Amino acid sequence: MTLLLVQAAASLYLMGLIWLIQIVHYPLMSQVSRETFAQYEQLHSRWITPIVAIPMLMELACCILLVVNRPPAIPAWLTWCGLALVVVIWLSTFLLQVPCHTLLSQGFNADTHAQLVATNWIRTVAWSARAAVAMGMIYLFWKFTAQVIE
């Protein structure tokens, strides 16, 4: 049960964070002065990394552990679905968003910024689905446990 709760906590945290970034933070980047934008972006990347990386690693570890050591109440397809969503998130992060941030760290570019905002929807939707999968696993576990107790 602890593994399911840690997974859910990480996924729900990351879902909330990505929605904040998608709806507030990334759009506001276009309002930063062009003279200070490169420094702003560099600081953003440095400061956001530990806030995102630690829970992302926790979430990944939990997904792998649940695939390898699945509780009987959780269908195998659901653990694999959760892991697949994490893979989508990681691929999107490192193949789409990180390159945009790297370009933006040299200065604001409207096309790169628009690409960052547009492609970040992949992570926003995937983390929302990921959180739903995590909560579904908890529901199934509790439902199974309640039936065993009766």
C-alpha–C-alpha distance, residues 5 and 63, integer Å: 12
Q: Which residues, including other chains, have CB under 8 Å from residue 134's CB and lie 6 or more apart? A: 4, 7, 8, 11, 12, 82
pLDDT of residue 145: 77
Structural domain count, the chain = 1
Show pLDDT as tens, one digit a residue, over the chain (150 residues): 899 999 999 999 999 999 999 999 999 999 999 999 999 999 999 999 999 999 999 999 999 999 999 999 999 999 999 999 999 999 999 999 999 999 999 999 999 999 999 999 999 999 999 999 999 999 999 888 776 665
How many angstroms separate the CA atoms of 27 and 31, rounded?
A: 8
pLDDT of residue 144: 81
pLDDT at position 1 is 80
Q: Can you give the pLDDT at residue 147?
A: 67
Which range of residues forms the domain containing residue 102?
2-149
Residue position matching structure tokens 């739903």: 132
In angstroms, the CA 108 to CA 8 distance is: 36
